Amino acid sequence: MSVAKIKKINIIAHNDSKKEILEFLFDRGFMEILPAKDASAILVRERRNDEATNTEYKLSKITYALDFLSSYHQDTRTLTEKINQEKKNIYLDEIFKLQNDFKYFEVCEKIEDCGQGFNTLKSLIIKLNEEKKKLLPWKNLPLTENDIETKNVKVVLGSIANDKYDEFCNKINKKFTKINITRVEQNDSCSFVYIIFIKEYERRFFNFLNNNSFKLIESPLGNISVRERIDEIDKEIEGVETEIGKIKSEVQEIANKHFENLQIIFDFLTWQLKQENIQENFEFTENTFSVLGWIKNTELSELKKGIQKITDFFDIIELKIKEDEPVPIIMKNSKLVTPFEFVTSIYGFPRYGEVDPTPFLAGFFIIFFGLCLTDAGYGIILTICSFIFLKFFKFTGGTKKLLQVLFFGGIVTFIAGGLTGGWFGVVLDDLPESLAWLAKPLIAIRQVDPVKDPLTILALSILLGYIHLVFGNFISLSCKIKQGEVKDGLLTSGVWIYFLLTIGFWIATIKGVLPPSVNQAALYAVISAIILVVLTQGKSKNPIMKIFGGLTQLYFGISGYVSDILSYSRLLALGLATGIIGMVVNIVGAMVYDKIPYIGWLLMVLVLIGGHLMNLVISLVGAFVHSGRLQYVEFFKTFFEGGGRIFHPFIRENKYINLIKK
């Protein structure tokens, strides 16, 4: 069994030691804490305290501060360190000390002030720039506010399209006397003009403007001339910018000094919040508290010892696990098999008490994977690439496991490719004489050529499928025997194992693998197996119905196993596909080299690299997915259901720091 044994426990202790016990559990992280369900009359759950709300408030302030400072913080880490997301190493007591000494709340408030100052100044600059934009067309206007209207004369400002300007001037001079129109600025599409006119004909004049697509512009004039105002604005903007610069350098200073400390405090507060929130699941009386949770069997004694060191007033009760309780699971596999937990996790985790399929599928998965690729060249590339990634980057969790699976897969692919003569899709027999030194040993290693002799690989695929399914039934049988359901196991998996084995035996004699003298015996064995299936597989009590049911089960069994086993023929198809696509890439490469003068060789290199890379990626996805499917659909059907829930320990989680223990 590679699912660890788990116990449900209840810790009851005195309230005085609550903090220490909580800290101890948090530090070790070996418990998953459950919400207290059956609260009896005496036990009252403590309400969510103000502390948690307070911590959340502080956290939000720090989040804002870190966000604000992040653009000022110079990350001194190297590229690989960044990719690995390396964190600052720090001891726990250093954090506690920092938390006491560092007035982080004040720093946060200061940053908030700076942020607000920034916003005010920035909006001021926007306002000034907008005013400047309005003024710019009029920068040559020699007037001020007071000149707009005198006793007899008035001025209007406006714009008119360039192509209409001349016509407009002509018209205006014809229609009105004593009028002056001056152009002060011209851009790509229109001219900005001011017109001085006499108030007498004001109404007529405005009608004229309306009818001649003249766009009136409200006067932006103030008590000083436009040019002077623009200079003034420029000066103001400059002033505001120095102000912003001052704040920036102030913020920069804070960032240099406190950024990393704030990150540490952020993690510290997250822990604190987690500790405060978890208490919602506790039950309290006046003097005691009670916690429910899951713990690994092997860690129970350590828990007891740990709490004993803190207090004498406690008790740990082991609770009985109810049948339908969703017990969390912890997978426990050897180092070699652990990467394949990734394959299992795609389907789902085993339920508690169910067998973990990971060690059983590992070998088959990797062989299937290799057969789907069957190219030694690709195998080498895959192995080297995944090795480099594993060596130089510290991936964790699923990505790391995936890379490890690919590493092993690469090795198996290399072997499978060597045995089938797949080397970057090159047809070994067609290699020129000059390369005979290379081709000869490779041909010698080659045991079978899948293109010329696909039936051998097909037979191998189907044989692997047969072994896979028989093996699955054996696992099912052994699990049932372990659980004490010997009769049930023998009557289901046992019967089918016998059935499959006799069929295998029979086919082996027909194919001449076994001597024909045992042919008769094999035939009798198969007949006995068929009779056994018919007699045992019917579920009905009525004997006639039972036999009828047995016949139906026989039909479903045979058709099911035949289709399952045939499904493994995909191994041949995918392997062939990889090889032939590689071959096509080579053919195209050679064509490019022959047909295109001068740069043919360069294009050939590009075609070869690009083509093989594409083939590798596509075949890789196919190989992984289809090897997985053979596990999930064909193999798991025989013994595995899944649907388990992974264990979530109550433990410190760090975003920015790496806690080191003494």
Binding site for other proteins (CB under 8 A): 345-347, 451, 454-455, 458, 567, 569-570, 572-574, 576-577, 580-581, 583-584, 587, 618, 621-622, 625-626, 628-629, 632-633
Shortest Å, Cβ 577 to other proteins: 6
Residue closer to other proteins by CB (options 347, 365) is 347
| Residues 215, 137: Cα–Cα separation, whole Å | 14
Sequence-ordered list of residues with C-beta below 8 angstroms from that of 120, at least 6 positions apart, any chain: none
| Residues 3, 356: Cα–Cα separation, whole Å | 6
Backbone φ, ψ for residue 551 (5° rounding): -65, -45
> Given the structure tokens 């103030």, which residue do they identify?
222
Shortest Å, Cβ 560 to other proteins: 16
Torsion of CA 49, 51, 57, 58, to 10 degrees: -170
Torsion of CA 80, 83, 88, 92, to 10 degrees: -130
Residue closer to other proteins by CB (options 136, 402) is 402
Residue closer to other proteins by CB (options 119, 399) is 399
Contact call for residues 22 and 46 (beta carbons, < 8 A): no
Shortest Å, Cβ 617 to other proteins: 8
Shortest Å, Cβ 345 to other proteins: 8
Residue closer to other proteins by CB (options 205, 632) is 632
Q: Tokens at residue 204, please?
A: 């007529």
Contact call for residues 566 and 462 (beta carbons, < 8 A): yes
Shortest Å, Cβ 399 to other proteins: 12
Residue closer to other proteins by CB (options 386, 553) is 386
Contact call for residues 609 and 292 (beta carbons, < 8 A): no
| Residues 475, 290: Cα–Cα separation, whole Å | 41
Q: Tokens at residue 502, please?
A: 């006799």
| Residues 282, 11: Cα–Cα separation, whole Å | 10
Helix then strand count (H, E) for the chain reads 22, 13
Shortest Å, Cβ 349 to other proteins: 12
Residue closer to other proteins by CB (options 455, 531) is 455
Shortest Å, Cβ 346 to other proteins: 3
Residue closer to other proteins by CB (options 321, 573) is 573
CA nearest 328: which of 35, 39, 34? 34
Shortest Å, Cβ 574 to other proteins: 7
Residue closer to other proteins by CB (options 477, 576) is 576
| Residues 307, 563: Cα–Cα separation, whole Å | 58
Shortest Å, Cβ 635 to other proteins: 13
Residue closer to other proteins by CB (options 531, 562) is 562
The three state secondary structure string of 523-576 is HHHHHHHHHHHHHHHCCCCCHHHHHHHHHHHHHHHHHHHHHHHHHCCHHHHHHH
